[in-house]
Amino acid sequence: MSYNFNWKIMLSGEPAQWMWEGFVTTLQIASISLVCSMLLGIIICVFRMTPFRLLQWFSLAYTEFFRNTPLLVQIFFWYNASHFVIPTSINKWMNALYHWFPGPFTLFGHEFAGQWMLFNVEFITGVIALTVYTSAFIAEEIRSGIFSIPKTQLEASRAVGLSFIQAYRYVILPQALRIVVPPLISQSLNLIKNSSLCMVIGVTELMFMASQVESYYGAPFEAFSAALLIYLAISLFVSFCINMYNKHFLIQVSY
C-alpha cells in the first residue's frame, strides 16, 4: 500500500492556519503554567522546610499525591469532577470570566475567532492541571537545591536578625534556584510536552490541531510530523535559552 506524501498541504490554507493557532495556544498554556508552577512550587517547598508540622504535612501530601498520580487522570478530574469539591463561588467566577472577554481578537497580525483562548473553561482547566502537577516536581527539585546549601548560611541569617521567611527569601532561595537550573530545564521541557495531553478536554493546542488536519485532510504523516518538529523546535529553543542563563549565572557552592 503506497502513501502519497503531500507536504504542500501544511504550508498554506486551513492546515497552516490551524497549526499556527495550535502553536500559539501551546505557547500560551505552557508559558502560563510554567510561571504558575514555579511560584506554587516555591511556596510548597518553603512549606516543606518550615518548622510548622501542619505545613510540612500539607506539602508532603501535596507533592506525593500529584507526583504519583497520572497527569491525564488529573486533567479529567479538574475538568469533569473538580466542580464537586471547588467552592461554588470560584466556579461561578470562572464561568463568568469566560463571558467577560469576547472575540474575535488579533495576535501577531492573525485574527482568532470566538472567545479568548486564555479565558475559556478548557484552557483554565488545562493550566490548573499542568500547574499543580509540575509544581510538585519543582518543589522537590528546589528542596534538593536547598539541601546543597550549607546550614550555616541559614543559621547566620537568623543570627543577624532575619526571620525564617526573610532568610529564605533573601539568602537561601536565590542560591537554590540558581543551583537547580539544570533539573528545572527538564521540568520545563516536560511541561511543554505534557501540554499536548490537554487536547483530551478540547484545548485547541498543537496536537488538537494536528488531529484536526489529519481528520479533515487525510494527511496523518504530514500533520503529526509537523507537530513533532514544532515541539522539537520549542524544546530546543527553551533548552538553549535556559542553558545560556545557566552558563552566565551558575554559582558554585563551597562547604
HSE (side-chain half, CA atoms, 13 Å) at 199: 15
Which of the residue ranges 21-25, 95-99, 134-138 would you say has the lowest mean pLDDT?
95-99
Task: Give the pLDDT of residue 115.
Answer: 39
Residue 250: is its pLDDT beyond 60?
Answer: no
Task: Give the pLDDT of residue 119.
Answer: 55
Which tens digit of pLDDT belongs to each residue from 47-76?
888 888 898 899 999 999 999 999 999 999
Q: Are 148 and 179 in contact (CB under 8 A)?
A: yes
| Residue 54 to residue 81: CA distance in whole angstroms | 27
How far is Cα of residue 178 from the mean position of the Cα atoms in its chain? 19
- Which domains are present in the chain? 13-249 (1.10.3720.10)
Top-confidence residue, 112 or 228: 228
> What Å distances lie between residue 210 and 26, 62, 99, 165, 221, CA to CA?
12, 34, 28, 46, 10
| Range 185-200 burial, b when 16+ CB lie within 10 A, else e | bebbbbbbebbbbbbe
| Residue 60 to residue 217: CA distance in whole angstroms | 48
Which of the residue ranges 48-57, 70-79, 110-119, 199-208 would you say has the lowest mean pLDDT?
110-119
Residue 137: is its pLDDT beyond 90?
Answer: yes
Task: Give the pLDDT of residue 107.
Answer: 45
Task: Give the pLDDT of residue 89.
Answer: 62
Q: Percent of the chain having pLDDT more than 90? A: 24
Mention every residue, 6+ apart, whose C-beta is less than 8 A from residue 126: 29, 33, 75, 195, 198, 201, 203
**Residue 126 amino acid letter:** G
Q: Per-residue confidence at 213, pLDDT binned at 50, 70, 90?
A: confident
